[in-house]
């Protein structure tokens, strides 16, 4: 097989049986809680959800909205992502005479909530999300009338974390989600995010107390990672090499499988992370770098961030209270560290980041 051929195929979905079962069990009972799916970067959250959607039985109607697809900086941008005003034209083209809400019940997955264009214009011109929520509720009700179960999935929810429409949009959305789940039990709600600071802030949000469930989609464990590599004809020795450098990060394991020269690939990845991290540290040491926490701009102290990195010299995970808020915000924003608010732990985003941290610490003489 030549290299071109090798890149012509992609890797098929692997495992996640436990996580899939957990989500399927949630879908079997009536909606009670908002489900937050979180995990380190590139752990496979979106891949898992998209695979699960594809294989759901026909009695589920899934609305999957990925907020990462287009830039969102206003409430109107959000509406454009949330709704699909072109669905109507598709119905006309296919000579389907059903009204939109009835036609939706025939769908399996919609990547946007189908809406009549006239109504969309009205919702779009209003500055109050109530009319949008009212329509969503009507759609979910209609799906139920057809004895189907609606599932609303919003990927990359943190994108709208700071949007305002007469107050924060996210709070209005959470209230709506609470109505859909805990109060009306009408629709399953899943929100995905790779921004662990966002998940952490939700975790400590009083209005969401007892109303949410948090599901961690982590990198593969050692056994799964090795089985995954084995399936792609990676020998034992290389499996060990990959696990020692990339842990169970699916994206990196996938790249490793495709890499023509495995050792070179590993060396390149470490060098890349080290250079990135070094530049970040140099900037903090030499410039006046700040982070914003609760609208306040705070200066990052070089000594403080080095102190945090040093904690990873001898351990892979630390407790959240071992890291000051400014350094934590800095490293999470830079995708170096991941916070698991449910377990109260902080760790590097991947094994390769941990190795880069340790190598840099060796070079810092103080």
- Using an 8 Å Cβ cutoff, are 155 and 68 in contact? yes
Q: Give the Cα separation of 139 and 126 in Å (integer).
A: 19
Quote the tokens at residue 125.
């011109």
Cα Rg of the chain, angstroms:
23
Q: Give the Cα separation of 16 and 22 in Å (integer).
A: 10
**CB 187 → ligand ATP: shortest distance, Å?**
22
**CB 12 → ligand ATP: shortest distance, Å?**
7
Site track for ligand ATP across 160-199, x = CB under 6 A: ----------------------------------x-----
Instruction: Give the residue among 301, 312, 296, 313 at the shortest CA–CA distance from 346.
Output: 312
Instruction: Give the residue among 314, 343, 348 at the shortest CA–CA distance from 328.
Output: 348
**CB 252 → ligand ATP: shortest distance, Å?**
8
**CB 227 → ligand ATP: shortest distance, Å?**
11
Within 184-238, strands assigned E span 188-193, 212-216
Q: How many residues bind ligand ATP (CB under 6 A)?
A: 17
- Taking CB under 6 A as the criterion, the residue among 110, 251, 293, 306 binding ligand ATP is 251
Q: How many CB atoms lie within 10 A of CB 36?
A: 23
Site track for ligand ATP across 315-334, x = CB under 6 A: --------------------
Site track for ligand ATP across 60-99, x = CB under 6 A: ----------------------------------------
**Distance between first and last Cα of the chain:** 51
Q: Judged by CB under 6 A, does residue 347 bind ligand ATP?
A: no
**CB 345 → ligand ATP: shortest distance, Å?**
18
**CB 171 → Mg ion: shortest distance, Å?**
23
What are the Cα distances from residue 149, in Å, to 63, 84, 189? 11, 20, 11
Q: Judged by CB under 6 A, does residue 224 bind ligand ATP?
A: no
Instruction: Note the Cα 178 to chain centre separation in Å.
Output: 20
Instruction: Note the Cα 226 to chain centre separation in Å.
Output: 24
3-state secondary structure of 32: coil
Q: Pick out residues in 16-75 that bind Mg ion (CB under 5 A).
A: 45-46
**CB 258 → Mg ion: shortest distance, Å?**
20
**CB 15 → ligand ATP: shortest distance, Å?**
6
Residue 319 sits at φ, ψ, to 5 deg, of: -80, 150
**CB 205 → Mg ion: shortest distance, Å?**
22
140/191 with CB nearer Mg ion: 191
Q: Judged by CB under 6 A, does residue 250 bind ligand ATP?
A: yes
User: For ligand ATP, which stretch binds (CB under 6 A), given 20-28, 117-125, 174-182, 248-256?
Assistant: 248-256
Instruction: Give the residue among 191, 198, 243 at the shortest CA–CA distance from 217.
Output: 191
> For strand 337-340 and strand 318-319, is the pairing parallel, antiparallel, or unpaired?
unpaired
Q: What DSSP line would sit under 166-180, residue for residue?
A: SSBHHHHHHHHHHII
Closest-CB residue for Mg ion?
46
DSSP lists the bridge partners of residue 288 as: none
8/294 with CB nearer ligand ATP: 8
165/216 with CB nearer ligand ATP: 216
Report the number of secondary-structure helices (H) and strands (E) in the chain: 17, 13
226/254 with CB nearer ligand ATP: 254
Site track for ligand ATP across 12-51, x = CB under 6 A: -xxxx----------------------x-xxxxxxx----
Residues that bind Mg ion (CB under 5 A): 45-46
Binding site for ligand ATP (CB under 6 A): 11, 13-16, 39, 41-47, 194, 250-251, 254
């Amino acid at each position: 097989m030549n290299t071109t051929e090798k890149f012509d195929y992609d890797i098929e979905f692997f495992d996640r049986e436990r996580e899939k079962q957990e989500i399927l069990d949630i879908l079997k009972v009536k909606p009670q809680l908002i489900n937050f799916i979180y995990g380190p970067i590139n752990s496979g959250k979106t891949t898992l959800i998209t695979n699960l959607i594809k294989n759901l039985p026909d009695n589920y109607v899934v609305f999957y909205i990925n907020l990462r697809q287009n830039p969102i900086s206003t409430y109107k941008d959000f509406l454009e992502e949330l709704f699909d005003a072109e669905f109507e034209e598709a119905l006309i083209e296919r000579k389907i005479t059903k009204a939109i809400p009835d036609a939706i019940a025939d769908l399996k997955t919609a990547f946007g909530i189908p809406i009549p264009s006239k109504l969309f214009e009205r919702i779009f011109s209003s500055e109050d999300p109530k009319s949008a929520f009212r329509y969503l509720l009507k759609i979910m009700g209609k799906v139920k009338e057809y004895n189907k179960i609606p599932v609303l999935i919003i990927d990359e929810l943190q994108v709208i974390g700071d949007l305002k429409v007469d107050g924060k949009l996210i709070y209005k959305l959470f209230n709506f989600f609470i109505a859909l789940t805990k109060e009306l039990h009408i629709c399953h709600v899943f929100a995905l995010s790779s921004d662990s600071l966002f998940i952490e802030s939700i975790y400590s949000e009083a209005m969401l107390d007892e109303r949410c469930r948090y599901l961690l989609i982590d990198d593969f464990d050692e056994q799964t990672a090795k089985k995954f590599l084995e399936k792609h004809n990676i020998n034992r020795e290389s499996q060990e090499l990959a696990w020692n450098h990339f842990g169970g990060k699916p994206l990196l394991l996938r790249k490793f499988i495709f890499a023509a020269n495995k050792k070179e690939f590993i060396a390149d990845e470490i060098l890349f992370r080290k250079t990135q991290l070094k530049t970040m540290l140099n900037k903090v040491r030499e410039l006046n770098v700040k982070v914003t926490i609760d609208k306040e701009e705070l200066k990052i102290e070089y000594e403080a961030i080095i102190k945090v990195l040093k904690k990873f010299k001898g351990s892979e995970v630390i407790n959240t209270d071992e890291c000051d808020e400014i350094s934590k915000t800095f490293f999470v924003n830079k995708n170096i560290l991941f916070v698991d608010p449910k377990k109260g732990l902080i760790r590097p985003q991947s094994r390769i980041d941990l190795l880069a941290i340790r190598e840099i610490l060796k070079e810092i003489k103080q």
